[in-house]
Amino acid sequence: MLDAKPAKPLVTVKDLKMYFPIHTGLFRRHTGDVKAVDGLSFTIFEGETLGLVGESGCGKSTVGRALLRLYELTSGSVTIDGDDIATLSSEELRLKRPAMQMVFQDPQASLNPRMTVAAIIGEPLDEHTDWNAEKKLARVYELMDAVGLNRAFANRYPHAFSGGQRQRIGIARALALNPKFIVCDEPIAALDVSIQAQVVNLLEDLQEKMGLTYLFISHDLSMVRHIADRVAVMYLGRIAELSPREPLYADPLHPYAKALLSAVPDPDPETEGKRQRIILQGDVPSPSNPPKGCNFCTRCPEVIPICREVKPELAEVRPGRFVACHLVTPDNQKAAPGSTGGPEATEHNQQGEPKK
Amino acid sequence: MPDGAKPVLDVRGLQTVFRTRGGDVHAVNSVSFHLKPGELLGVVGESGSGKSVTMMSLIGLLPMPPAEVRAGEVLLGDVDILKITPEQLRDVRGRRIGFVFQDPMTSLNPVFTVGNQVMEPLLRHMNMDKKQAFARAVELMELVGIPDATRRMKDYPHQFSGGMRQRVMIAIALACDPEVLIADEPTTALDVTIQAQIIELVKDLRTKLGMAIVWITHDLGVIAGIADRVMVMYGGQVVEQAPVKELFANPQHPYTRALLKTIPSVSGQREARLKVIEGQPPILGAAPTACPFKPRCGHAFDRCGNENPQRRALGADPVGYGHDVACHWDARTGGPV
């Protein structure tokens, strides 16, 4: 799928950092930072869906918000369609907003209960166009058709709609200005199983019709497998592995990606009975005090001494597959392809060390 | 009775109604099920399908009014616990039926230490003095895998992570060796890697303690891995019930069949497009006179609108013991029953 497209990057993120300061004591002195996102680099190509998965608190939602500069970045750059949005002035940023939109997790909280559906969907048009009321209404109807809402409901309020329909309103609002890039932050997490599929199919249809690019943030690994072309697995503010969908799900390389995928229950009692689970011990460390070295070293079942000292860099270990792990080395350096753990991998790391 | 074993919990024709200003809401409609000793029954359904309300009503945890249990009996051993006094029911709750709720953040009291809360049922039900209760509480915390249990007894809930809090909830539920443990979406609020830890813990405890468990969830994946038998609920009623492998291999009700197709999997073939169940779950207004799934069902015919289907057994076993389904359409022949 990916190879067929001309790989033109739409969003390029370089060394993105998003720290939230901690103030303590009587004088509210700055005593530390919650390192929600700690040095992230990746690219999203035009027309693709990049899935961003991880457990709660790993920083995935922060990435989504930082990409649209809903937060002021601590450092790093985010280039969307040629402009580095981290350095734009507020007016330039406002003019840039139509190209980048967001669909939020909770359709209940992200819609103003005092506005009608038509007013909610039309609000971006009020802000960014000088169209007359008639033209705006025509556009609102067009959008309602596109997301499968009945036009007759245009004057109703959000409370009159079900969760799935509310999420459709949120999607219509995001589409109003013909964006190129949409961040979908857990768009289906609040919905029932039978409704989730409806919304995911809608997002896929719209992508096909309008050539949209998505960052699809979710903790639901099976749904991400369905919708994403490439998937980034985050752990504690960093990317552990970024790979195309099929190789990631068939053969995850990073120990965290392996554990995460093995933890997802499979709706099939036959395979469930046979599966070997990797049960991670303990909990995720606090992002205000991440461990030294690799941030997964406290829970990693394959940890070796170097992991506690040196932070692994995200490197391309197979064509298109990026992994940040001392145990995973590029194919051409491998003595025994396919094996990741064990002494030979340690050797390669030691050999690799002087190069840095 | 098949299998010989007498059920530890036997629920018959339970009907729960919420009386609201807008009229009665029929949340649970003649739900019957039983639980054999040592068995894990999975209850699956979407929000509003009545799965939690069923379990809450059988141990009297619903606020009454507005809730009202109109009919049915709940036999725990030989006693109908719907008929006993509130005082007697208090001795059942926590002592004979343990409960684990969905949200470990809100179901622990933030102003008491965790130790205090694990000791509470022991002091209330087991006639232990404080010293005995403390020792037993430490044992329980170790049993559910809380490291450094003696020291952590003095900690407050906010000092525990989500997974650890759910372990504390399980320790409380297990404190008095209940015959039945009801777990209402115990892993829904947790991350997948923590969910995997809790599922392993429950599997392990089951073999050690041998209690019967009702596990409520909307996640068919969790059910596939843990349950012996599954009950599928829709619109306040049981639409299908079967042993777990039978249900996944051979689903009969159109809702179960559609539900199994809508969920993508992390392994196996990736579908190009997800199957959807069109429409919305029903609003449970008046007492049902039609099949609740009819508006979304691809196989519906006239009879489905006129008559709410009763559960019918598919094999020789009576309803509740083998595979049964509440549907006028026969999946095996592809036509009306």
Distance from CA of B273 to the nearest CA of A (A): 7
Euclidean distance between CA atoms A182 and B93, whole angstroms: 49
Per-residue pLDDT reduced to its tens digit, A136-163: 999 999 999 888 888 888 899 998 888 8
Arithmetic mean of pLDDT over chain A: 85
Q: What is the mean pLDDT of residues B282-296?
A: 82
Q: ipTM value of the model?
A: 0.76
Nearest residue to B27 (alpha-carbon basis) of B39, B38, B35, B19: B19
- As a whole number, the mean pLDDT across chain B is 85
At residue A258 the predicted structure's pLDDT band, cuts being 50, 70 and 90, is: very high
Quote the pLDDT of residue A220.
Answer: 87
Question: Of B240, B253, B237, which is closest to residue B288 (Cα–Cα)?
Answer: B237
Q: How many CB atoms lie within 10 A of CB B191?
A: 23
pLDDT at residue A339 is higher than 60: no
Report the alpha-carbon distance of residue A97 to residue A88 in Å, rounded.
11
The pLDDT, as a whole number, for residue A230 is 94
Average pLDDT over residues B294-319: 86
Residues in chain A: 356
Residues 6+ apart with CB under 8 A from A224: A51, A53, A216, A218, A231
Asked if A276 reaches chain B (Cβ–Cβ under 8 Å), the answer is: no
Q: Is the pLDDT of residue A115 over 80?
A: yes
Say how many C-beta atoms besides its own lie within 10 A of residue A132's C-beta.
8
Task: Determine the Cα–Cα distance for residues A145 and A136; give it in Å rounded to an integer.
Answer: 14
B128 CA to chain A: closest CA distance, Å? 32
* Alpha carbon A40 to its chain's center: 12
As a whole-number percent, the residues of chain A with pLDDT over 70 amount to: 91
- Quick: pLDDT tens for B93-114: 888 888 888 777 788 888 999 9
* CB spacing of B221 vs A264 below 8 angstroms: yes
Once rounded to an integer, what is the mean pLDDT over residues B270-295?
Answer: 80
**Shortest distance, CA A308 to any CA of chain B (angstroms):** 22
Say if residue B75 is exposed, middle or buried (CB neighbours under 10 Å; 0-12, 13-18, 19+): middle
| pLDDT 10s digits, A63-113 | 999 999 998 889 999 999 888 988 889 999 999 999 999 998 888 888 999
The string over A234-257, giving b where at least 16 C-beta atoms fall within 10 Å of a residue's C-beta and e elsewhere, is: bbbbbbbbbbbbebbbeebbbbbb
pLDDT band at A334 (very low <50, low <70, confident <90, very high): very low
What confidence tier does A333 reach under pLDDT thresholds 50, 70, 90? low
- Is A267 within 8 Å of B221 when comparing Cβ atoms? yes
d(CA B309, CA B289): 9
CB nearest to A55's CB, from B192, B248, B262 = B192
pLDDT for the residue B4: 59
The dotted CATH code for B10-71+219-265+273-336 is 3.40.50.300
What confidence tier does A331 reach under pLDDT thresholds 50, 70, 90?
Answer: low
In angstroms, rounded to a whole number, what is the distance separating the alpha carbons of residues A313 and A238?
10
A266/B262 Cβ within 8 A: no
The answer to whether the Cβ–Cβ distance between B245 and A270 falls below 8 Å is yes
* A153: exposed, middle or buried (Cβ count in 10 Å: 0-12, 13-18, 19+): middle
CA dist A218 and A191 (Å) reads: 13
Hey, is the C-beta of B270 within 8 angstroms of any chain A C-beta? yes
Q: Which helix (H) or strand (E) holds B325?
A: strand B324-325
CB contact under 8 A, B196 and A272: no
8 Å CB contact of A194 and B276: yes
Answer yes or no: are the C-beta atoms of A352 and A327 closer than 8 Å. no
**Residues A54, A256 contacting (CB under 8 angstroms):** no
The H or E element that residue B90 is part of is helix B86-92
**First CA to last CA across chain A, in angstroms?**
35
pLDDT digits (tens, 9 = 90+) for A205-231: 999 998 999 999 998 888 899 999 999
Lowest mean pLDDT among A206-220, A236-250, B103-117, B240-254: B103-117
3-state helix, strand, coil in chain B (%, to 5): 30, 25, 45
Among candidate residues A45, A290, A192, the one with its CA nearest the CA of residue B220: A192
Residue B35 phi/psi, 5° resolution?
Answer: -135, 120
The residue extents of the domains of chain B are: 10-71+219-265+273-336
Residue B278 contacts A, CB cutoff 8 Å: yes
Helices (H), B153-299: 162-174, 192-209, 220-226, 244-249, 254-262
pLDDT value at A251 more than 60: yes
Range with lowest mean pLDDT among A257-261, A312-316, B3-7, B310-314: B3-7
Euclidean distance between CA atoms B272 and A213, whole angstroms: 18
SS (H, E, C) chain A: CCCCCCCCEEEEEEEEEEEEEEEECCCCEEEEEEEEEEEEEEEEECCCEEEEECCCCCCHHHHHHHHCCCCCCCEEEEEECCEECCCCCHHHHHHHHHHEEEECCCCCCCCCCCCCHHHHHHHHHHHHCCCCHHHHHHHHHHHHHHHCCCHHHCCCCHHHCCHHHHHHHHHHHHHCCCCCEEEEECCCCCCCHHHHHHHHHHHHHHHHHHCCEEEEEECCHHHHHHHCCEEEEEECCEEEEEEEHHHHHHCCCCHHHHHHHHHCCCCCHHHHHHCCCCCCCCCCCCCCCCCCCCCCCCCCCCCCHHHHCCCCCCEEEECCEEECCCCCCCHHHCCCCCCCCCHHHHHHHHHHHHHC
| Distant-in-sequence, close-in-space partners of B162: CB < 8 Å, separation ≥ 6 | B104, B105, B189, B190, B191, B194
Q: Give the single-character DSSP code of B229.
A: E
- Report percent pLDDT > 90 for chain B: 15
Residue B313: strand pairing partners = B324
Per CB-CB distance under 8 Å, the chain B contacts of A200 are: 274
Two structure tokens written together for A338: 């396919």
Ramachandran bin of A199, using left for φ above 0, alpha for ψ from -120 to 50, beta for the remaining angles: alpha
Angle subtended by helix axes A163-175 and A133-147, to nearest 10: 130
Distance in angstroms (rounded) separating the CA atoms of residues B62 and B316: 37
* Rounded Cα–Cα distance for residues A191 and B234 (Å): 16
Residue A344 confidence (pLDDT): 39
- pTM value? 0.81
> In B, which residues are within 8 Å of A229 by CB distance?
none
Asked if residue A20 has pLDDT above 70, the reply is: yes
Token pair listed for A200: 């995911």
CA distance A209 to A212: 8
Distances, alpha carbon A128 to alpha carbons A74, A96, A123, B211, B252, in Å: 28, 10, 9, 62, 53
What is the structure's pLDDT at A32?
83
Residue B303 CB partners (closer than 8 Å, separation 6+)? B328, B336
Amino acid at A87: T
DSSP B214: E
- Indicate the residue type of B215: W
pLDDT average, residue stretch A246-256: 92
Largest CA distance in chain A: 71
Please report, rounded to a whole number, the percentage of residues in chain A having pLDDT higher than 90.
44
CB contact under 8 A, A225 and B164: no
B195 touches chain A (CB under 8 A): yes
- Check pLDDT > 60 for residue A23: yes
Which residues pair with residue B34 across a beta bridge? B10
Model confidence at B262: pLDDT above 70: yes
pLDDT single digits (tens) B21-33: 878 888 888 899 9
Considering only alpha carbons, which residue of chain B is nearest residue A280? Answer: B193
On whether the CB atoms of residues B82 and B139 are closer than 8 A, the answer is no
Answer positive or negative: Cα dihedral of A327, A330, A331, A336: negative
Q: How do A315-318 and B97-100 pair as beta strands?
A: unpaired
* CB of A274 less than 8 A from some CB of B: no
- Cα–Cα distance measured from residue B228 to residue B308, given in angstroms and rounded to the nearest whole number: 28
Of B157-161, B226-230, B232-236, the range with the lowest mean pLDDT is B157-161
Chain A nearest CA to B84, separation (Å): 37
The C-alpha of A106 sits at a distance from chain B's nearest C-alpha, in angstroms, of 15
Q: Determine the length of chain B.
A: 337
A223 and B264 within 8 Å at the Cβ level: the answer is yes
Kindly state whether A198 is in contact with chain B, defined as any CB-CB distance less than 8 angstroms: yes
- pLDDT band of residue A332 (cuts 50, 70, 90) is low
